[in-house]
Amino acid sequence: MIRAMSFALLLCLAGEARAAGDSVAGEAAYAQACARCHRSVDRILPFIAGGDAAAKNAYLDALLADHRAPDPAMRADIIAYLLKVSGL
């Protein structure tokens, strides 16, 4: 029973790690899908609402869902990249 619970916990943690996104893939996705209009990330960083990483993550997820990034994995990657570039 304890082994099964430990395994389930590890699976949950692995899922959370993936949900956080990949900043390297996010940089490539930003270059492909966002940079044409938004150009440098330096132009958009000041407009990302939220006081901490969790708030910025929630804001960006909602914004990107309606702004040319409907794929959750792509959004997670772009968010990871933007948070990394912003220093969070």
- pLDDT digits 0-9 by tens, 1-42: 444 343 333 334 433 434 489 999 999 999 999 999 999 999
What integer pLDDT is reported at residue 60 of this predicted model? 94
pLDDT at 88: 79
> Under DSSP, is residue 39 helix (H, G, I), strand (E, B) or coil?
coil
Query: What whole-number distance in Å separates Cα of residue 87 and Cα of residue 64?
Result: 20
Start-to-end CA distance of the chain, whole Å, equals 38
CA dist 65 and 55 (Å) reads 16
Residue, of 19 and 68, whose pLDDT is higher: 68
Q: Residue 81 is encoded by which pair of tokens?
A: 């990249």
Instruction: Let me know if residue 7 belongs to a domain.
Output: no
pLDDT of residue 6: 37
Number of structural domains in the chain? 1
Parent domain of 72: 21-85
Per-residue pLDDT at 25: 97
Query: How distant, in Å, are the alpha carbons of 1, 5, 50, 51, 86 from that of 25?
Result: 38, 32, 23, 25, 16
Would residue 78 count as lying in a domain?
A: yes
Structural domain includes residue 34: yes
Q: Is residue 1 part of a domain?
A: no
